[in-house]
DNA sequence: TTGTACGCGTTATCAG
DNA sequence: CTGATAACGCGTACAA
């Protein structure tokens, strides 16, 4: 018989405490608690009874050690839990939680040294995988894991390493979707007000816009594309400029809901009716902005919650040894509200609570 | 000599791999790597050299097991990483990361069963402490940890258990601060447009408003307090009602920035000048709303980032055995922008990047 | 100066 | 049916 320490009051009970209290060996206790082996029902029951009385809870640290698997993943974010990270994280956590995985939260806030420390810590904690997230889709430096074979996945960001798996929204498709929605609504002179060109998302959304125009034999008014900061003020300013020049425009596709809101405010205050005179489509489906705009914004949703869930699922696949790599794009969807009028061709309209309304 | 398994290619190197490669025993390797014991400098150096070549990284799971401490805490959130959780989480992660603690992220999304599963998981993973967060400050059911002595702390939420430590913003002080700011700016007929009364925060902010009026011998116009949903639309509607009734009002204290924005929009569209005719103060300092309002909102900041950091620090204290309990309130601060005019008595004005401007 | 042996909490295997 | 033992990866007294 091994030496067994007394149960000091506030100590977390171990399986040995259970075994001793039940008058069996540690091995037997283990089997009883895990439903393994051949045990007399009475023994099994007694052990389980005692375990629950003692508040015994198996130590995951040890299990991880034994199984060589921690059921834990690391989530590295450079977006301070902002607009994009939030739905992503939610989707990731939902999917991972269902698979009994836990998530280590790491906010690197664009600081490489801090990111490095987090990586080291995650590896030391033997996470089974890592998801990297960002606030923009542009390529970033790959994370160097050394020789360690921990699966890694980039979500809402990407890296040049061809072996890396990167999940991104299809911003070109999103831009095309928005523009075609306007075209189907009968609009022919569509302007695009968007963010800084240094953002990949800006360039891709614009290419979708241009592709849609071309596919329908339309030309952009000139200037067709106005790039500026990601702000309401810019949307307001850009629209004011358009109206001052008395440019003939019947629709605006905005690169973000914030820009769209500024645009709609400017239109309204200049006496231009939305959507009758000028229809507007935004981007992001940021409820707090989109739903509060008057009229509420028709906008593009990047399905980030879904993308997060997908990221989690794919990471679990990588952990299970399924090979996967490359940059993968996932479609955006259009959320129809009032800023673009209504039309038979609209996709399913959803109320704020997420349930289909018809 | 113990049996040592061969280094299979993708296996994470253990201290035994290092020891074998260096031609020393495991014990010696351990000492060399930890700077313990008396070793020849050459041996120490050689072991360290080899360890780094192999990419050896001590297994935290084991260290946790040995030290009976995991340097890990659980963060339970019922707010889906929304507006309040985000700054809180950031503050928590910042402070905890500095102390070399890692954070397990748990989104309970108001589902008790899910919360229970998370708690069980955290306890199994032997977290050293738990922080509970929410999207509102109202009391919630205490978390039942059974007999386990894991420290727990409630941040931006509270529970009735007198032994629990709960950290909250001082909403009464915030309401008072906002109102006194308006009074100091010379306003005498101040209305309060706020959220649903079932929110504790609403009742507290209102009590601060009333206390400030009383302290300065002012009376609220009637009706002085208008409660409605937490939305821009409500702010807009409430102001429209006030203007229709031609009520004499020279200032509005709003219970949230969203309400304030709706209010300011309504005022502007009715031709009322802000702040000249009616001054407005918001609540939350939600940049994306407050800074985009025209004019930008003077508002109350609950210092949630700081509160998060404090929560982390206090939790570390609890973990170290320092007793602490009760509901503790921390002051809000006023952020001066344009919606209330300027005044000599303003507190430090801050630019968007957080650095003082003067 | 270096090696040995034990313990941390648990599971699995094999002997009894 | 039950118990003993090895193994997981590491730190640390203690022996050599």
Nearest CA in chain B to A128: B12
Nearest-by-Cβ selection for B103 from A57, A89, A104: A104
User: Which B residues 63-122 have CB within 7 Å of strand C?
Assistant: 65-66, 68
Distance, in Å, from the CA atom of A280 to the CA atom of A178, rounded to the nearest integer, reads 9
Residues A85, B249: Cα–Cα separation, whole Å: 42
DSSP, collapsed to helix, strand or coil, labels residue B154 as strand
Start-to-end CA distance of chain A, whole Å, equals 70
Whether the Cβ atoms of residue A196 and residue A202 lie closer than 8 Å to each other: yes
Taking only residues 218 to 277 of chain A, the set having a beta carbon closer than 8 angstroms to any beta carbon of chain B reads: 231-233, 258, 261-262, 269
Nucleic strand C within 7 A of Cβ A65: yes
Identify the pLDDT of residue A78.
Answer: 87
Nearest-10 crossing angle of helices A41-54, A15-22: 130
Please, which pLDDT band fits residue A344 given cuts at 50, 70 and 90? very low
Task: Supply the pLDDT for residue A353.
Answer: 32
Query: Is any Cβ of chain B less than 8 angstroms from the Cβ of A58?
Result: yes
CB distance A236 to A229 below 8 Å: no
- Rounded CA gap, B88 and A266, in Å? 35
User: What single string gives the DSSP state of each residue in B79-98?
Assistant: S-S-TTHHHHHHHHHHHHHH
- Residue A244: pLDDT band with limits 50, 70, 90: very high
What distance in Å separates residue B183's CA from the closest CA in chain A? 30
Chain C nucleotides close to protein (CB under 7 A) are 1-5, 7-14
Whether the CB-CB separation of B207 and B255 falls below 8 Å is answered with no
- Distances from the Cα of A221 to the Cαs of A76, A186, A246, in angstroms? 42, 15, 12
Band (A148; pLDDT cuts 50, 70, 90):
confident
Q: Which residue is nearest to nucleotide C3 (CA to C1')?
A: B25
- Residue A146: left (phi > 0), alpha (psi -120 to 50), or beta? left
Reading the block at residue B251, the tokens are: 């200032």
- Note the pLDDT of residue B30: 92
- The nt closest to A37 (CA vs C1′) is D1
Q: Please judge whether A124 and B59 are an interchain contact, meaning their C-beta atoms are less than 8 angstroms apart.
A: yes
The three-point CA angle A252-A258-A261 to 5° equals 55
A257 → chain B, closest CA residue: B288
Interface residue B305 vs chain A (CB under 8 A): no
Nearest Cα of chain B lies from the Cα of A135 at a distance, in angstroms, of 14
Nearest nucleotide to B30 (CA to C1') is: D11
CA dist., res. A68 & res. A57, Å (int)? 20
Report the pLDDT value the prediction gives residue A283, as an integer from 0 to 100.
98
Nearest to B190 by CA among B161, B223, B162: B223
Cβ distance B123 to A262 less than 8 Å, yes or no, reads no
Angstrom distance (rounded) from CA A73 to CA A337: 38
Q: Residues A27-74: pLDDT tens digits? A: 899 989 988 878 888 888 899 999 998 889 999 999 999 888 999 999
| Strand C and A82 CB separated by under 7 Å | no
- Residue by residue, DSSP assigns B99-133 as TT-EEEEEE-TT-HHHHHHHHHHHHHTT-SEEEEE
Q: Would the Cβ of A16 be found within 7 angstroms of any atom in strand C? A: yes
Nucleotide minimizing C1' to CA distance for residue A34: C11
| Residue B40: predicted pLDDT | 86
Name the residue among A255, A289, A292, A94 with its Cα closest to residue B262.
Answer: A292
Strand B129-133 with B139-140, pairing:
unpaired
Q: Which of A193-207, A292-306, B141-155 has the lowest mean pLDDT?
A: B141-155
What is the reported pLDDT for B1? 36
For A:68-127, CB contacts with B below 8 A are: 70, 72, 75, 80-82, 85-86, 89-90, 93-94, 97, 100, 102-107, 114, 117-118, 120-126
Answer whether the bond into residue B295 is a cis peptide, omega within 30°. Answer: yes
Radius of gyration of chain B measured on its C-alpha atoms: 27
DSSP state of B350: B
Output the distance from B146 CA to D11 C1' rounded to whole Å. 32
Alpha carbons A286 and A282: distance in angstroms, whole number: 9
Residue A284: the pLDDT is 97
Closest residue in A to B270 (Cα–Cα): A269
CA dihedral A244, A248, A251, A252 (to 10 degrees): -40
* pLDDT at residue B241 in the model: 96
CA distance B282 to A141: 41
pLDDT of residue B12: 84
Task: Tell me if A104 and B107 make a contact (CB, 8 A cut-off).
Answer: no
The pLDDT of residue B249 is 96
Nucleotide nearest to A15 (CA to C1'): C9
Strand C lies under 7 A from the Cβ of residue A7: no
Distance CA A221, CA A219 (A): 6
Q: What is the 3-state secondary structure (H, E, C) of chain A?
A: CCCCCCCCCCCCCCHHHHHHHHCCCHHHHHHHHHCCCCCCHHHHHHHHHHHHHHCCCCCHHHHHHHHCCCCEEEEEECCCCCCCHHHHHHHHHHHHHHCCCEEEEEECCCCHHHHHHHHHHHHHCCCCEEEEECCCCCEECCCCCCCCCCCEEEECCEECCCCCEEEEECHHHHHHHHHHHHHHCCCCCEEEEECCCCCHHHHHHHHHHHHHHHHCCCCCCCCCEEECCCCHHHHHHHHHHHHHCCCCCCEEEECCHHHHHHHHHHHHHCCCCCCCCCEEEEECCCHHHHCCCCCCCEEEECCHHHHHHHHHHHHHHHHCCCCCCEEEEECCEEECCCCCCCCCCCCCCECCCCCECC
In this complex, the residue with its CA at the shortest distance from the C1' of nucleotide C4 is B27
CA(B123)–C1'(C2) in Å? Answer: 40
The predicted structure's pLDDT at residue A230: 96
β-bridge mates for residue A133, sequence order? A77, A155
Mean pLDDT calculated for residue range A179-207:
97
Rounded to a whole number of angstroms, the distance between the first and last alpha carbons of chain B is: 70
Chain A positions touching B80 (Cβ under 8 A) are 86, 90
Cα separation, A141 vs B131, in Å, equals 33
Note whether A82 contacts B85, CB cutoff 8 Å.
Answer: no
CB B281 within 8 A of CB B299: yes
In whole angstroms, D16 C1' to B128 CA is 40
For residue B79, report the phi and psi dihedrals to the nearest 5 degrees.
-85, 130
User: Is the CB of residue B22 inside 7 Å of nucleic acid strand C?
Assistant: no
**A55, A124, A269 member nearest B60 (Cβ):** A124
User: Is residue A188 scored above 50 in pLDDT?
Assistant: yes
- Please report which confidence band the pLDDT of residue A10 belongs to, taking 50, 70 and 90 as the band edges: low
Contact flag, residue A26 CB and nucleic strand C, below 7 A: yes
Question: Three-state DSSP class for B14?
Answer: coil
From the CA of A306, how many Å to the nearest CA of chain B?
15
Separation CA A260–CA A257 (nearest Å): 5
In a 13 Å sphere around the CA of A12, the CA atoms on its Cβ side amount to 18
Backbone angles phi, psi at B122, to 5 degrees: -65, -45
Higher-pLDDT residue of B358 and A150 is A150
Q: Show pLDDT as tens, one digit a residue, over chain B (358 residues).
A: 334 444 445 678 999 989 989 999 898 999 999 888 788 888 899 999 999 988 899 999 999 998 899 999 999 998 775 788 889 999 999 999 999 999 999 998 889 999 999 999 999 999 999 999 999 999 999 999 887 889 999 999 999 999 999 999 999 999 999 999 999 999 999 999 999 999 999 999 999 999 999 999 999 998 899 999 999 999 999 999 999 999 999 999 999 999 999 999 999 999 999 999 999 999 999 999 999 999 999 999 999 999 999 999 999 999 999 999 999 999 999 999 999 987 433 443 333 333 222 2
Lowest-pLDDT range of A8-17, A188-197, A309-318: A8-17
B164-191 residue pLDDT tens: 999 999 999 999 999 999 999 999 999 9
Q: In this structure, are residues A235 and A206 in contact, taking their beta carbons and an 8 Å threshold?
A: no
Residue A6 phi/psi, 5-degree rounding, is -70, 155
Q: How confident is the model at residue A204 (pLDDT cuts 50, 70, 90)?
A: very high
DSSP state of B68: T
Burial class (CB in 10 A: 0-12, 13-18, 19+), B36: exposed
In percent, how much of chain A has pLDDT > 90?
Answer: 78
Q: Which of residues 302-321 of A touch strand C (CB under 7 A)?
A: none
Residue A105: which of B103, B149, B261 has the nearest Cβ? B103
Q: What angle do CA B296, A231, B353 make, to 5 degrees?
A: 65
The tokens describing B282, both together, are 């918001």
Provide, as residue numbers in chain B, all residues whose Cβ is less than 8 Å from the Cβ of A75.
105
Cα maximum dimension of chain A: 93
How many Å from the CA of B43 to C1' of C1? 10
- Token pair belonging to B261: 């924005």
- In angstroms, the separation between the Cα of residue A215 and the nearest Cα of chain B is 36
Q: Report d(CA B240, CA B102) in Å as an integer.
A: 50
Q: Coil, strand, or helix at residue B45?
A: helix
Alpha carbon distance A2, A284 (integer Å): 63
- pLDDT score, position B346: 40
List bases, strand D, within 7 Å of protein CB. Answer: 1-5, 7-14
Vertex B315, ends B312 and B316: CA angle to 5°?
A: 90
**Closest-CA residue of chain A to B81:** A86
Tell me the chain A residues in contact with residue B126 when contact means C-beta distances shorter than 8 Å.
12, 59-61
Stretch A286-294: mean pLDDT: 95
Our CA-based measurement puts residue A20 at a distance from the nearest CA of chain B, in whole angstroms, of: 19
What's residue B222's pLDDT? Answer: 84
pLDDT tens string B36-86: 878 888 889 999 999 998 889 999 999 999 889 999 999 999 877 578 888
Report residue B355 as tokens: 């650095």
Are B293 and B264 a contacting pair, CB within 8 Å?
yes
The verdict on B293 touching A (C-beta cutoff 8 Å) is no
Residue B99: what pLDDT? 93
DSSP state of B356: B
Interface test with A, best of B68, B81, B308 (most A CBs within 10 A): B81
Length of chain B: 358
């Amino acid at each position: 018989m091994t030496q067994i320490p007394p149960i000091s009051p506030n100590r977390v009970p171990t399986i040995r405490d259970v075994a001793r209290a039940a008058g069996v060996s540690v091995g037997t206790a283990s089997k009883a608690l895990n439903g393994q082996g051949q045990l007399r029902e009475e023994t099994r029951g007694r052990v389980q009874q005692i375990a629950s009385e003692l508040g015994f809870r198996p130590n995951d640290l040890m299990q991880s050690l034994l199984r060589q698997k921690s059921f834990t993943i690391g989530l590295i974010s450079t977006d301070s839990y902002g607009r994009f990270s939030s739905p992503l994280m939610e989707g990731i956590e939902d999917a991972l939680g269902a698979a009994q995985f836990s998530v280590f939260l790491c906010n690197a806030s664009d600081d490489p040294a801090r990111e490095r420390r987090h990586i080291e810590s995650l590896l030391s904690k033997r996470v089974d995988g890592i998801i990297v997230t960002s606030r923009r889709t542009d390529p970033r430096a790959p994370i160097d894991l050394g020789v360690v074979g921990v699966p890694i996945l980039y979500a809402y960001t990407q890296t040049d390493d061809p072996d890396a798996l990167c999940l991104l929204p299809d911003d070109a498709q999103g831009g095309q979707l928005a523009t075609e929605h306007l075209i189907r609504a009968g609009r022919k002179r569509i302007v695009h007000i968007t963010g800084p060109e240094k953002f990949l998302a800006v360039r891709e959304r614009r290419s979708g816009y241009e592709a849609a125009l071309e596919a329908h034999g339309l030309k952009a008014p000139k200037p067709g594309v106005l790039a500026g900061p990601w702000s309401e003020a810019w949307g307001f300013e850009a629209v004011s400029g358009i109206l001052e020049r008395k440019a003939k425009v019947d629709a605006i596709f905005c690169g973000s809901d914030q820009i769209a809101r500024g645009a709609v405010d400017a239109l309204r205050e200049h006496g231009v009716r939305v959507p009758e005179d000028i229809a507007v489509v935004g981007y992001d489906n940021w409820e707090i902005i989109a739903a509060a705009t008057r009229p509420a914004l028709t906008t593009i949703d990047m399905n980030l919650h879904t993308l997060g869930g997908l990221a989690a699922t794919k990471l679990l696949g990588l952990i299970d040894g399924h090979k996967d790599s490359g940059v993968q794009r996932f479609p955006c969807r259009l959320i129809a509200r009032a800023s673009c009028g209504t039309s038979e061709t609209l996709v399913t309209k959803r109320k704020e609570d997420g349930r289909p309304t018809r």
